[in-house]
Chains A and B, each alone.
Chain A
């Protein structure tokens, strides 16, 4: 009963807040714009009837030559902001206002509170991303005049699930910082710093590490192929430390059946016919390493939240 009451209250608060429509508009408008320009681009080249399903999925994954980045790109960029915005002040604001103490002074266990908050936040994220994706898909179908088949629909559902895990991970980061830091401004700044780090700085650092490990610097300006391949492999492996890379790999593999490898190297014999698009199960198998890494990150961060909250000394700001 305790968890259910907290989930209900939290969902009402999230949906009634000013943040929710703003976040929803952010993701929806970027999706609609992507779809519009994608369809314009596809219309110029034309689409055969047999290729409509793949063409439709390309509109979402961004392989259309459109001037705008893809819907996947926008979810990858704005997803962390959505997750963080829903959680960065979730605990410390309640401690500061006294409502946390008041809630805990009722006959509920402390884990009910954190589990309720996590469940409500994830429910809202699922609602937000599935509604936004549905609207974008519907809008794309309307202006393109064709839509995905059954397999394409399942690919979109898997993509929604990957997006949910990715945004859920950032929601967990925000929640964790709201437990650790007493001030909401500090937790917001810490979240944004981490987001900037994993979106921009981590790739610079990885690049430097890869250059140094592969010894590329010593061969400048024309390194041998072996050193360059080593550099690319190291960079690719290390970049998977960022949730953005994991999400981009999983989402691209799921939405684009023409992607046959997530590695930067893709070998095929010259004399063989052009490779066919992958079936759904093969795409899932391809995305699985990144997908499972996302699940692991998501689970670890939520577990950390529960442990940290259970150990935290809940004291009012005035005491």
Chain B
């Protein structure tokens, strides 16, 4: 992608609170229409990074630009173009869904005529039109998160920043939220920058991922590039014969094959479960089980190490 398509750029961004370094020399580029995810344990510096990108907290050193505007010198211009969904949805429980969105529309100087139509459209988009006049206090966590996304979309943002949007939401609700975000990037070209700790979701929806730990980005790249050579398949058999091991070893993308009792552990560049089953052909009856260890989990555990438990 060209330099022109970069919508978020951070150069040596650092934030210190006294002696504590929350974010250290962060360099980041997020491109237009990209679904970018920040992964990291609690205290990794994800929220602080978001606050700096929104111009809500001043970096100790370094700079950042969002939609071409410097976050330190032009925070208002940045906030005109960026929608933010904090981890706690930040909605007013005593107001209705419609009133919550109207408040945000007022803060963004959206004219009354446009406002009403836009609110209807957004509530429809997030599937909450039926509950438009219900007080938000009655909503489930998933509904609140969807409303928070609608709230962030009121200003027609070019970028959406979401801090753990699926935290506390059930699996079905999380899928709904993430597929809604994916639709926004695909159909409307909105750039999504979010933090999450649900690795399988991140792996499924993100275009690129950055792993953060102790204020630093330790790894960044596409899901494919990060997980290359990290796909592990564990095959449990009634008995293991050498012929089968040889056949699997000859498969394309296989990096290593190891026998462990009645198990075969395969490490491959890609997910080759289908190819493995095909290679077994007549031996399928001997299979007791097949386990695929998500590759991102392995990468994450390697870079975050003992801090991973907190994520």
Q: Which residues of A contact B82 (CB under 8 A)?
A: 105
Q: Which residues of B contact A265 (CB under 8 A)?
A: none
A contact residues, range:
20 to 34
Q: Is the CB of B84 within 8 A of A318?
A: no
Give Cα distance in the complex from A124 to B62, angstroms: 44
Which residue of chain B is the closest to A16 with respect to CB atoms?
B94
Which residue of chain B is the closest to A4 with respect to CB atoms?
B106
B288 beta carbon closer than 8 Å to chain A:
no
Give Cα distance in the complex from A5 to B108, angstroms: 10
Which residue of chain B is the closest to A8 with respect to CB atoms?
B106
Q: Is the CB of A98 within 8 A of B90?
A: yes
Q: Which residues of A contact B85 (CB under 8 A)?
A: 102
Which residue of chain B is the closest to A105 with respect to CB atoms?
B84
Q: Which of A6, A12, A102, A315 contacts B151 (CB 8 A)?
A: A102
Q: Which residues of B contact A100 (CB under 8 A)?
A: 90
Which residue of chain A is the closest to B78 with respect to CB atoms?
A107
| Residue among A5, A16, A99, A101 having the largest count of chain B Cβ atoms under 10 Å | A101
B48 beta carbon closer than 8 Å to chain A:
yes
Give Cα distance in the complex from A313 to B89, angstroms: 20
Q: Is the CB of B88 within 8 A of A9?
A: no
A106 beta carbon closer than 8 Å to chain B:
yes
Q: Which of B88, B92, B106, B109 contacts A96 (CB 8 A)?
A: B88
B56 beta carbon closer than 8 Å to chain A:
yes
Q: Is the CB of B107 within 8 A of A318?
A: no
Q: Is the CB of B155 within 8 A of A106?
A: yes
Q: Is the CB of A102 within 8 A of B90?
A: yes
Q: A5-B107, A106-B104, A106-B108 are in contact. Are A97 and B90 (CB under 8 A)?
A: yes
- Which A residues, 81 to 125, have Cβ-Cβ distances below 8 Å to chain B? 96-109
Q: Is the CB of B88 within 8 A of A318?
A: yes
**Shortest CB distance B234–A (Å):** 36
Could you list 27 examples of A-B contacts with CB < 8 Å?
Answer: A1-B106, A1-B109, A5-B103, A5-B106, A9-B103, A13-B92, A13-B95, A96-B88, A99-B90, A99-B92, A101-B51, A101-B84, A102-B86, A102-B89, A102-B148, A103-B90, A105-B56, A105-B79, A105-B83, A106-B79, A107-B77, A107-B80, A109-B76, A315-B51, A318-B87, A318-B88, A319-B48
For the A-B complex with A1-B106, A98-B90 known, give 13 more contacts whose Cβ atoms are closer than 8 Å. A2-B107, A4-B106, A5-B103, A96-B88, A102-B89, A102-B90, A102-B151, A106-B104, A106-B107, A107-B80, A107-B109, A315-B47, A316-B88
Which B residues lie at the A interface, using CB under 8 A?
A: 17, 47-48, 51, 54, 56-57, 76-77, 79-80, 82-92, 94-95, 103-104, 106-109, 148, 151, 155, 163
9 closest A-B pairs by beta carbon, nearest first, are: A98-B90, A98-B88, A102-B90, A105-B84, A5-B106, A319-B47, A98-B86, A99-B90, A106-B107
